Amino acid sequence: MKIKLTVVATLLLSSLAASPVPMASAALPPPPHPAHKGAPVDTRASGEIDDLISKMTLREKVGQLVMFSISGKSLTSAERDAIRANHLGGVILFARNYEDKSQLTALTDQIQAAVRPSSGIRAGALISVDQEGGVVKRFEDMPPRYSAPRMGEIGSKAVALEEGRKTGYALKQAGVNVNLAPVADLDLPPEHVMAARSFGANRYAAGRLVKAFGEGMQLKRVAATAKHFPGLGGATQNTDDGRAYVYRSKNDLRTIDAVPFEKAVKANFQLMMVSHAMFVNDGGEVPASMSYHISTRRLRKGFGFEGVAISDDLGVVAWRFGGSVAKACKNTVKAGVDIALLAGDHVTAQACASKLYQAVRRDSISERRIDQAVGRVLRLKRWLRLLPG
């Protein structure tokens, strides 16, 4: 009997040694936050972040929570001055900011040179782009080669992983460190508003591809963003086109739409973009990005997500505040979102930062909430190697 057991054990070990090991998962950089509820916390690293926050002024803190767009292919003096005066910590790029890879690299260098001296802790800039592939691809001659729907048709995790890896490599080489992709929304009725950008209708198949594409990017230390939480696929229209309602049941939202986002959380995606849609049966007629129920209770407590929550462009939801983007900025941060994303210019960014500062001074937002958001942003920046040392 002993001889037989020894032979069986030897055969098992040989079989395991010969089996292919998925190197992508093994090579993923360690996350800056727990992957899920119950994951161990790096207390030493948390202490370092707390120490950095203690050295920051309130204006420096709120500046870290604002991401804005720039007008052209190089920084203007007005944009540079606004970054330094308001300690702005992030920039989003669009097609208008891109000519070729050489120009893009020069631009991202300019942004970093402006942002680092703007705060006492000399943190670098988050530089983001929507590089989904297909109809949303700001840098046309850069990866991914395939759109999300095409990857959904192919149905291969290996293809999605490789597309993500190539995309991450190209962005990293040009100085872009955050991709506001992939879309984790399903292609759903009644209007199929995300059909051209979604991996498909099947929650499990789409979830596998979302996970693979994001992991591929993060292998190259470009942060992945799952969007648009908690799922825009069943909306009456895209929020970019006007007020969007989602009438799906709470059960469908939590057992179907949620699956790709759950995959993203378990894969340690660094960011989650929160939708502006109103989820009537789970949160009521309040945009998700302004809803404590969605942005905090569901995202943090329900999903256990501890990374950075970022809004969609706040300009499209300013209707709720009489057209004031600054008020939208205040309310999204108050609800639990960490970065206020603005497709608007440096003037809008300055108004947003000022509104956040005033909200704390007037006790409309607690400084503890600001510190919480800044802590998440700085942990992301540490993972992206944007902090000194």
pLDDT band at 389 (very low <50, low <70, confident <90, very high): confident
Give the pLDDT mean for 66-86. Answer: 98
Give 268-321 pLDDT, tens digit per residue.
999 999 999 999 999 999 999 999 999 999 999 999 999 999 999 999 999 999
Long-range contacts of 358-365 (CB under 8 A, 24+ apart): 359/330, 359/333, 359/334, 360/58, 360/62, 361/58, 364/330, 364/334, 365/330, 365/333, 365/334
Give the pLDDT mean for 217-233. Answer: 98
pLDDT band at 32 (very low <50, low <70, confident <90, very high): low
Cα separation, 111 vs 74, in Å, equals 9
Q: Is the pLDDT of residue 7 over 70?
A: no
Are 124 and 174 a contacting pair, CB within 8 Å? no
pLDDT band at 257 (very low <50, low <70, confident <90, very high): very high
Q: Does domain 50-383 have CATH number 3.20.20.300?
A: yes
Give 87-105 pLDDT, tens digit per residue.
999 999 999 999 999 999 9
What is the pTM assigned to this prediction? Answer: 0.89
